[in-house]
């Protein structure tokens, strides 16, 4: 039997068993202890906590003979995020406001299901709820409509991540971080070659989403090569500074291009809702008011861009740290699974820097990562990092 949606989506056995039982209970109409209306999925980023929620949503909507068959129309649509009754909210902002909470979660949760058995709202990154937004959600979680299921996803049950009142009203499922082998397995099930899957799983730091990107997206692979190459360029005069400036340029293009279509859609939607393009009496006045609303939106979009650029660079810095960590392991003779198995040659070269120097390199990268959230310009932070690494590597 086990070829159901949970197996197909690579959900770990223990988690799958619990969700399977709940989905069965729901199908039988038992909404007691086995099935609940409010769920909290926790696990470190990349553990697949929201993948588990999506698989569960599919199993709840499934009309196949096996609960969560993975092949019926409902299972398929939920997986593709194309099911009318399943709303998957992925917050873009660093904090979720009361307004967006009402529009995106509470509103949709209040509606009746149309084609499916349940109305399901999945909220990613629920740790970004502001306190007032969390309170606005409380009532829905406490007494959801009979056909509604709310699934929250957060890193942990720590009060910093989820307020205790929401936690106490939800059923908690912990989704553990998958091993490198498990991540590789998930990628291979998606048709990726074993060698590529293994390398991506290791280099991504057990992060399923990043691993999939790394295995399939050429631009991601190039960004990784570029940052790892920086460790070599440190020894070649000013080339490292030039490389950093290219890296930042590339990150900007990538982040801005990635958001462009959505930004445009948002502006267009706002213009429509403001009735821009209307003529006649009062239109001019309305136009002036609208202009300021559009400016506000553009400001928000700019902020989002800045954050996306930092996220791209931060991911690259994690790669670079991994390389120095691999070299440190080699230089101290500790036998651990390398983070970048394909870059062991360069890691061996870096052994000459010595354990102390390599530790200083890791510190330099950490310092740079810590500077990003403090609004230091990426150029300044990364140039300082190169300077520190050069000193650590005794380059003059």
Closest CB 39 distance from Zn ion, rounded Å:
19
For the chain, the straight-line distance linking the first and the last C-alpha, in angstroms and rounded, comes to 64
Closest CB 74 distance from Zn ion, rounded Å:
5
Distance separating alpha carbons of residues 9 and 16, to the nearest angstrom: 10
The three-point CA angle 333-339-342 to 5° equals 95
Q: Pick from 9, 72, 86, 226: which binds Zn ion (CB under 5 A)?
A: 72
DSSP 247-270: HHHHHHHHHHHHHHHHHHHHHHHH
Q: Indicate whether 64 belongs to the interface with Zn ion (CB under 5 A).
A: yes
Q: Indicate whether 136 belongs to the interface with Zn ion (CB under 5 A).
A: no
148-154/86-89 β-pairing: unpaired
Closest CB 79 distance from Zn ion, rounded Å:
10
* Residue closer to Zn ion, measured from CB, 70 or 322: 70
Closest CB 62 distance from Zn ion, rounded Å:
3
Stretch that binds Zn ion, among 65-73, 143-151, 199-207, 274-282 (CB under 5 A): 65-73
Q: Read off φ and ψ for residue 121, nearest 5 degrees.
A: -120, 120
Q: Indicate whether 329 belongs to the interface with Zn ion (CB under 5 A).
A: no
Residues in CB range of 14: below 8 A, 6 or more apart: none
Closest CB 153 distance from Zn ion, rounded Å:
22
* Residue closer to Zn ion, measured from CB, 88 or 223: 88
Q: Pick from 26, 69, 121, 321: which binds Zn ion (CB under 5 A)?
A: 69
Q: Indicate whether 75 belongs to the interface with Zn ion (CB under 5 A).
A: yes
Residues in CB range of 196: below 8 A, 6 or more apart: 187, 215
Residues in CB range of 86: below 8 A, 6 or more apart: 57, 61, 77, 78, 116, 120, 121, 122
* Residue closer to Zn ion, measured from CB, 102 or 117: 117
Stretch that binds Zn ion, among 69-77, 172-180, 255-263, 315-323 (CB under 5 A): 69-77
Stretch that binds Zn ion, among 71-79, 196-204, 230-238, 249-257 (CB under 5 A): 71-79
* Residue closer to Zn ion, measured from CB, 60 or 382: 60
Number of shown-chain residues binding Zn ion (CB under 5 A): 5
Distance separating alpha carbons of residues 89 and 152, to the nearest angstrom: 10
Closest CB 116 distance from Zn ion, rounded Å:
11
Site for Zn ion in 140-169 (CB under 5 A): none
**Contact between 22 and 58 (Cβ < 8 Å):** no
**Contact between 247 and 224 (Cβ < 8 Å):** no
* Residue closer to Zn ion, measured from CB, 61 or 125: 61
Q: Indicate whether 62 belongs to the interface with Zn ion (CB under 5 A).
A: yes
Q: Indicate whether 9 belongs to the interface with Zn ion (CB under 5 A).
A: no
Closest CB 77 distance from Zn ion, rounded Å:
10
Distance separating alpha carbons of residues 357 and 348, to the nearest angstrom: 14
Question: 42: part of which helix (H) or strand (E)?
Answer: strand 38-42
Binding site for Zn ion (CB under 5 A): 62, 64, 69, 72, 75
């Amino acid at each position: 039997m086990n070829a159901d949606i949970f197996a197909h989506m690579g959900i770990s056995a223990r988690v799958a068993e619990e969700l399977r039982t709940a989905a069965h209970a729901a199908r039988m109409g038992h909404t007691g202890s086995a099935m609940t209306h409010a769920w909290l999925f926790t696990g470190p980023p990349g553990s697949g906590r929201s993948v588990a929620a999506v698989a569960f949503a599919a199993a709840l909507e499934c009309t196949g003979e096996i609960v969560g068959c993975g092949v019926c129309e409902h299972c398929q649509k939920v997986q593709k995020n194309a099911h009318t009754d399943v709303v998957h909210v992925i917050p873009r902002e660093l904090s979720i406001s009361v307004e967006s909470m009402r529009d995106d979660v509470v509103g949709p949760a209040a509606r009746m299901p149309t084609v499916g058995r349940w109305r399901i709202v999945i909220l990613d990154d629920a740790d970004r709820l502001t306190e007032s937004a969390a309170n606005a959600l409380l009532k829905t979680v406490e007494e959801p409509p009979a056909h509604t299921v709310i699934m929250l996803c957060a890193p942990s049950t720590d009060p910093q991540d989820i307020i205790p009142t929401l936690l106490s009203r939800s059923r908690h499922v912990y989704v553990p971080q998958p091993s490198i082998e498990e991540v590789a397995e998930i990628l291979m099930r998606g048709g990726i070659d074993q060698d590529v899957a293994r390398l991506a799983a290791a280099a991504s730091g057990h992060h399923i989403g990043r691993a999939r990107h790394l295995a399939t997206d050429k631009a991601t692979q190039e960004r990784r090569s570029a940052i790892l190459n920086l460790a070599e360029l440190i020894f070649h005069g000013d080339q490292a500074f030039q490389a950093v400036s290219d890296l930042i340029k590339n990150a900007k293009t990538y982040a801005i291009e990635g958001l462009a279509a959505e930004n445009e859609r948002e502006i267009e939607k706002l213009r429509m809702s403001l009735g821009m393009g209307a003529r006649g009496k009062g239109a001019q006045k309305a136009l002036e008011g609208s202009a300021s609303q559009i400016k506000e939106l553009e400001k928000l979009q700019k902020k989002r861009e800045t954050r996306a650029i930092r996220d791209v660079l931060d991911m690259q810095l994690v790669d670079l740290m991994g390389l120095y960590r691999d070299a440190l392991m080699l230089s101290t003779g500790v036998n651990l699974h390398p983070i970048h198995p394909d870059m062991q040659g360069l890691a061996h070269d870096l052994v000459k820097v010595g354990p102390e120097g390599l530790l200083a390199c890791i510190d330099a990268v950490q310092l740079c990562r810590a500077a990003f959230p403090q609004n230091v310009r990426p150029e300044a932070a990364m140039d300082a990092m190169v300077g520190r690494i050069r000193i650590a590597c005794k380059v003059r």
